[in-house]
Chains A and B, each alone.
Chain A
């Protein structure tokens, strides 16, 4: 069974830092691109960042570029999100998400597994 378990959320002051972790199990972690998606309280889903399967390529939403850093340790089957210079608007539940890509010329891409999420609250 695929499992993604996030940890590391909590209360942090504006300007502070936090590191989120996502422990993956039940699949070959190094085969998959991984993402972070966030959801502010009572709001919709917002894509944050993605990393390719070997960690060599990363992409970010403009709103977090330069402040959040995605990384992974395939030996530990763990995805990370290093968060710095945090702002009130970063307050959200952060989901670790696996992206499935179907093989073939016209591949399909979709988020087929989600963690339970970890809440980050930025407040003084």
Chain B
């Protein structure tokens, strides 16, 4: 199975801060990585697909990029409604696997 190592596991930041989360794949997965947001008590929501493509309707403060097997997810200016847990997910091979999640809190 492809392992997705996500860091950090938790993060505390202030409104307006730039926030970055990293996901590293255990092998080459090309661009086949998606990012999801899960607000407390809710189902996950797709934010970014194929490493860097913003889903329709998702604010432009969210972005993603790929460098080899390292993927970064960035919120350019943190907003209060961004409080959530964020997950990366690879679909290069079955079983699809998720990162462990990053819980984002407001300072």
Contact = CB atoms under 8 A, between A and B. Distances in A.
Interface stretch (A18-26, A77-85, A103-111): A103-111
Interface string A22-43: 0000000000000100000000
Nearest to B42: A116
Contacts of B32: 109
Contact of A95 (B43, B50, B96): B43
Interface string A96-124: 00000000000011111011110000000
Given A110-B49, A111-B36, A45 B43 contact: no
B69 to A, nearest CB: 19
B97 interface: yes
Given A108-B50, A111-B36, A47 B44 contact: no
B34 interface: yes
Contact of A44 (B49, B55, B87, B96): B87
A116 B46 CA distance: 14
Nearest to A46: B98
A59 interface: yes
Interface of A: 35, 44-47, 50, 59, 61-62, 95, 108-112, 114-117
